[in-house]
Homo-oligomer: A and B are copies of this chain.
Amino acid sequence: MRQYGREDLELLFRTADVMADRLQRAFLRRPLDGRIMMTAFFEPSTRTRLVHETAMLRLGGTVSGFADPSVTRAEGSTAESDEDILRMLDSYADVIVLRHPTTGRPAELAARLTGALLINGGDGTGEHPTQAMVDLYTLYRRFGSIDGLRLLLVNDLRMRCVNSLLLGLRNFDCEVSAVATDGMDRPEGEEADWASDGPPVTIGGSVVELLPKVDVLYSSPTVSLRSAAGDRTRPLTIDRRLLEEHAGRHLAVLHPLPRKGELATDVDDTPFNAYWAQATYGVAVRMALLTLMFDA
């Protein structure tokens, strides 16, 4: 997300508006006709893969690739290097969507490409920039503006979607609080790094006390942790009762999905639910991104 400034993001939002609108109507043009997207998922992720494929198909492009790293293991022995695989895709595809378990690897591999564009579809504990674009677009659509919003981030703060969201929020004038589940705090250095560039972030505190004062409650996907002693640290569960007792009327709950126990299904039918809209915007935001990347 470091490579995108406020103007880039605002252009993306306006383009996504057009795309979201186009999804409702018959297609008038196919700007990516003849283009090929290759998905290279060295770690499976059905959501991220399918949302990019959908965006590409809606723009008239075509898709191929692999959904699972096991497929890349040739007969016999060990896997081919990811660099050789990316170089292969570079000569086949116009754009590659890469999911990689190793933090920072997409940037290294992107530097080797000569023809294809690269989209980072999530790297280790690094970044998930297109998810952050969707998160920000969801705020823009729900509130009209991101400036002035007060956000509370909860649960696993080490997740790549949190990293990318924090980097994106630096472009806007908003207040951020963050409360981690035990053992899921952001590393010290990263907090400082982020804080030095962006708006104030307050780490820690009580969710129940903070909830009435914020506009947005954002939870990352979170899995319970087993400690050395064998105890389980459970994430905060966002449910209807918590929200009805403590949240302001206009609170929006965001979650990139998939969810486990940290977001109860009884929130689905409340006005706090912004995560389905968020999921739906996924297609339009990737369509906007592809259109801008290809200058199409």
Contacts and interface: CB of A to CB of B under 8 A. Distances in A.
Interface in A63-97: 63-68, 70-78, 80-81, 84-85, 87-89, 91-93
A44 B64 contact: no
A280 interface: yes
* Count of chain copies: 3
Contacts of A280: 91
B88 A257 contact: yes
A74 B221 contact: yes
Nearest to A83: B265
Interface stretch (A6-14, A50-58, A142-150, A170-178): A50-58
A64 B53 contact: yes
Contact of A64 (B63, B70, B80, B282): B63
Size class of A's contact patch?
35 or more
A276 interface: yes
A50 B27 contact: no
Nearest to A221: B74
Interface centre among A64, A81, A259 (most CB of B within 10 A): A64
Interface of A: 26-27, 30, 33-34, 36, 38, 43-47, 50-51, 53-54, 57-58, 60, 62-68, 70-78, 80-81, 84-85, 87-89, 91-93, 101, 221, 223, 257-260, 265, 276, 279-280, 282-283
The 8 closest A-B pairs by CB, nearest first: A80-B258, A54-B92, A91-B280, A27-B34, A53-B64, A57-B62, A77-B223, A46-B72
15 contacts: A36-B54, A36-B58, A44-B74, A45-B75, A50-B65, A50-B66, A54-B93, A57-B64, A68-B71, A76-B223, A78-B260, A80-B257, A80-B259, A85-B258, A88-B257
